[in-house]
Amino acid sequence: MANISLPSSITTSSGSYGLRWVAWLELCLSRSVERRRLRQLDETALKDIGLSQVDAEREAARWPWDGPAR
């Protein structure tokens, strides 16, 4: 997957609705990729970052638009 970089003007609240939607979509895609990679880690790597296999699977199963609590 190509790494897409958007200008900072897109991620500000002053941007248009369409541009903010693009930034949100990019964030969802990024989360999806990160969670897929998390699912591929072995137990040793998970232990290094302080996660169990159950924790990693739970995080990887989340929807892409389900971000961290604010």
Residue 70 has pLDDT above 90, yes or no: no
- The CA-based diameter of the chain, rounded to the nearest angstrom, is 44
What would the pLDDT profile of 12-65 be if each residue is shown by its tens digit?
Answer: 555 588 888 899 999 999 999 999 999 999 999 999 999 999 999 999 999 998
Structural domain total, the chain = 1
Which pTM does this prediction carry? 0.67
Angle between helices 17-40 and 53-60 (to 10 degrees): 150
Tell me if 7 is assigned to some domain: no
Domain of residue 44, residue span: 19-61
Tell me if 4 is assigned to some domain: no
Q: What gap in Å lies between CA 34 and CA 63, rounded to an integer? A: 12
Tell me if 68 is assigned to some domain: no
Q: What is the pLDDT of residue 31?
A: 95
Tell me if 26 is assigned to some domain: yes
Question: If pLDDT is split at 50, 70 and 90, which confidence band does 68 have?
Answer: confident
Tell me if 54 is assigned to some domain: yes
